[in-house]
Amino acid sequence: MNAPSFSALHLKVACSNCNLRELCLPIGLSLAEVDKLEELVATRKRIKRGDSLFRAGDRFESLYAVRLGFLKSTVVSADGREQVTGFHMAGELVGMDGISNEQHSCDTVALEDTEVCVIPYDRIEEVATSVPALRSHFHKVMSREIVREHGVMLLLGSMHAEERLAAFLLNLSQRFEARGYSRSEFVLRMTRAEIGSFLGLKLETVSRALSRFATDGLIEVNQKHVRIVDPEGLRAIMTGQGSQSEPR
């Protein structure tokens, strides 16, 4: 390590001082419990844009809490098809896919320079014995991931291209807002192809839908920069009410 004292400092103030704690932690933990939690976080890790945090097949050892940055997770089928299963931003926990097999089943790659807290899984299991509130919170986080994926299945299984993209933009918007960023203006960290993979569409379809939204005055797009002009309009599209000029 280049700067051990820097790392140590970081370790000391982890969690209790972290501006992500409302996202990571259960509310109402006692100070003693937060202390316990801080023992969890072994180290920080930086991942440069394009590098992977872990890959399918890697031995599972830790979960990771995103501190800063942006990642994607992808699964690859036997015949080589790739599917983006999610995008992850600050405050989110990644790596839970690895628990079942003691081995990761997806790749997780940084889409911009990223920093994560490394949480060794055996420590989580230890703390799960002694701090019920943390264990219970951990269960909720896993359950929330299951519910999130139900939502993605609904999107992939029953929505049209523009509906999917509207839902995607609104979801991003809401997540940025929850982190204190603008809900109406943000930068897409991923390519059109990656959005397409996540939404079950081709990149051209994503591009066309974005262009259509722009000409309809719902958003402004400039490459990766997006401004949401008419969130209600997007919501209408998402729920299948987009441009029904003729009610029969």
Partner DNA sequence: CGTTTCGTTGAAGAGTGTCAAGGCCAGTGG
Partner DNA sequence: CCACTGGCCTTGACACTCTTCAACGAAACG
User: What does the chain come to in residues?
Assistant: 248
* DSSP calls for 55-72: -TTSBP-EEEEEEEEEEE
Q: Does 32 bind a copy of itself (CB under 8 A)?
A: no
Q: List binders of a copy of itself among 110-149 (CB under 8 A).
A: 125, 128-129, 132, 135-136, 139-147, 149
Choice from 51, 160, 174, 241 touching DNA (CB under 7 A): 160
Choice from 7, 19, 30, 101 touching a copy of itself (CB under 8 A): 101
The CA-based angle 31-94-70, given to 5 degrees, is 105
Q: Which residues, 6 or more positions from 146, have their beta carbon under 8 angstroms from its beta carbon?
A: none
Cross-strand partners of 187: 225
Q: List binders of DNA among 204-223 (CB under 7 A).
A: 204-208, 210-211, 221, 223
Choice from 4, 157, 180, 247 touching a copy of itself (CB under 8 A): 157
Choice from 1, 4, 27, 79 touching a copy of itself (CB under 8 A): 79
Cα gap 181→219, rounded to integer Å: 17
CB 84 within 8 A of CB 74: yes
Footprint of a copy of itself (CB under 8 A): 75, 77-79, 81-85, 96-101, 105-106, 125, 128-129, 132, 135-136, 139-147, 149-154, 156-159, 197-200, 239-241
